[in-house]
A and B are shown apart, each in its own frame.
Chain A
Amino acid sequence: MDLSMKILIVDDFATMRRIMKNTLKQIGLTNVIEADDGTTALKELESSKVDLIISDWNMPKMTGIELLKAVRGSSQLKDTPFLMVTAEAQKQNVLEAVQAGVSNYVVKPFTPEAISEKLKKIFG
């Protein structure tokens, strides 16, 4: 895993973006940008090359699953690893995310170890 990779954190709650940034820092990942929902995330993705998207599911305007579908439907972004980190833990949600092409899925609450383990699975 390249520790200099650029990561986009997408969450409408500033708290969770902050906690995720702290978590990633503990893992050694500090190249992080943020967006507060799917629409602002897409704008960020248009303007800069991102190596990993970490997104919440429930957000106003554009949800995480809508963002995932938009990313997978884009010829430029379709191969970008996408980690869904969400309180939505029901089977139907996981299934929908998998069908939409999510790279991995973490249910909140999470520990740094859980995030690290998922990233290792994504990046080998």
Chain B
Amino acid sequence: MFGLRMLGRDCGIKLRKDGFEQGGGMVDVNLVNPFINATLNVLGTMASVKTEAGKPYLKKDNVARGDVTGVIGITGEANGTISVTFDEGSILKIVSNMFGEEMRELNDEVEDAVGELTNMISGQARMELEEKGKLFHAAIPSVITGKNHKIVHITKGPQIAIPFTTEGGSFTIEVCLDN
């Protein structure tokens, strides 16, 4: 049984099958792909930022890859959390483009923007999932900041990490679902 074949079908990611089996859980890629598509759509529309998706991997620790993270809980077809963690360079570029003025530090406005971006990514992804017959509900997002902060996904599913690069830096989406 293998449920990952289609991961990246919509964004050009190629996935090695064994990469996910090592994590001890099978992930339905039909649940993960919509989050990739949503991220590309949201950042392209709201911030005119071009993003390039890297190779997804199974994350084994709780340390965030970025400096500021938006986390949103979802329930429904599966339960879990989605987080988007940005390094300083990427989020400053993204928010600068969103506001039309240069942002130079991680302040309240940037944190607020991360929450809203996470909210939009969640909404877009859930819309695509609904089209596939999978209904989800989401909570209001939370934002965490700080170097090497931890993201603890309470759900016991595998943590799928999808890295992205932008012109300003990098960010990673983590999807952790119990189904």
Interface residues on B, range: 20 to 34
**Closest Cβ–Cβ distance, residue A105 to chain B (whole Å):** 13
In the assembled complex, the Cα of A109 lies from the Cα of B140 at a distance in Å of 17
A60 within 8 A of B: yes
- Chain B residue contacts of A88, Cβ below 8 A: 123
Query: Is B24 part of the binding interface, using a Cβ–Cβ cutoff of 8 Å?
Result: no
Instruction: Determine the main DSSP class of A at the interface with B.
Output: loop
For B112, list chain A residues within 8 Å (CB): 13-15
Let me know if B109 and A89 touch, CB within 8 A: no
Q: Does B29 contact A (CB under 8 A)?
A: no
Number of chain A residues whose Cβ lies closer than 8 Å to a Cβ of chain B:
22
Q: Mark B85-118, 1 if CB is under 8 A from A, else 0.
A: 0000000000100111000000011001101100
- Distance A110 CA – B95 CA, assembled complex (angstroms): 15
| B167 at the binding interface (Cβ < 8 Å) | no
Q: Which residue of the partner chain, among A12, A18, A58, A109, contacts B45 with CB atoms under 8 Å?
A: A109
Contact A15 B113 (CB under 8 A): yes
Residues of B contacting A60 in the complex (Cβ-Cβ under 8 angstroms): 140
Q: Within the complex, which residue of A12, A22, A107, A111 is in contact with B123, where a contact is CB–CB below 8 Å?
A: A107
Q: List 5 A-B contacts (CB under 8 A).
A: A15-B113, A87-B124, A89-B124, A90-B126, A108-B123
Taking A58-B140, A88-B123, A109-B124 as known contacts, 4 extra A-B pairs with beta carbons closer than 8 A to each other, sorted by chain A number, are A13-B116, A59-B140, A90-B127, A90-B135
